[in-house]
Structure 1
Amino acid sequence: MSGKITQEDLDFAIVDGRQSPTAAAVQRGVCRLLIHMGFAPLTEFSLKTGRRIDVAGINAKGEIIAVEIKSSLTDFRADQKWEDYLDFCDRFFFAVPMEFPRDVLPEETGLIVADQFGAEILRDSPEDRLPAARRKAVTLLFARVAARRAHLAIDSGV
Structure 2
Amino acid sequence: MPEDTSQPQLMPGQLLARGVCRHLRQHDFVSVVELTPTSGLRVDVMALGPKGEVWVIECKSSRADFQSDHKWQGYLEWCDRFFWAVDQDFPTELLPDDTGLIIADGYDAEILRMGPETKLAAARRKVMIQKFARHAAIRAQAARDPNAIYDW
Structure 1 consecutive aligned stretches of length 4 or more whose deviation exceeds 3 Å = none
2:109 alignment partner, SS class = strand
> Which amino acid in 1 is paired with 2:107?
F
Structure 1 residue 27 and structure 2 residue 11: aligned? no
**Which residue number corresponds to residue 83 of structure 1?**
73
CA distance in 2, matches of 1:16, 1:128: 37
1:117 alignment partner, SS class = coil
* TM-score of the two chains, using structure 2 as the length reference: 0.88
Structure 2 unaligned blocks of 5 or more: 1-6
**Which residue number corresponds to residue 9 of structure 1?**
none
**Which residue number corresponds to residue 135 of structure 1?**
125
**Which residue number corresponds to residue 58 of structure 1?**
48
**Which residue number corresponds to residue 145 of structure 1?**
135
1:87 alignment partner, SS class = helix
> Which amino acid in 2 is paired with 1:52?
R
> Which amino acid in 2 is paired with 1:25?
L
Structure 1 stretch displaced more, 39-48 or 105-114: 39-48
Give matches, 1:1-12, under 5 Å: none
Alpha-carbon RMSD: 1.5
Higher helix share: 1
Structure 1 residue 42 and structure 2 residue 35: aligned? no
Cα drift, residue 143 of structure 1: 0.4
With over 3 angstroms needed to count, the CA separation of the structure-2 counterparts of 1:39 and 1:16, relative to structure 1, is farther
Percentage of matched positions with identical amino acids: 46
With over 3 angstroms needed to count, the CA separation of the structure-2 counterparts of 1:151 and 1:36, relative to structure 1, is same
Give matches, 1:103-122, under 5 Å: 103-122=93-112
* TM-score of the two chains, using structure 1 as the length reference: 0.85
> Which amino acid in 2 is paired with 1:126?
P
Cα drift, residue 24 of structure 1: 2.1
CA distance in 1, matches of 2:38, 2:82: 18
CA distance in 1, matches of 2:50, 2:93: 33
Cα drift, residue 16 of structure 1: 8.6
Structure 1 unaligned blocks of 5 or more: 1-14
Count, aligned residues: 142
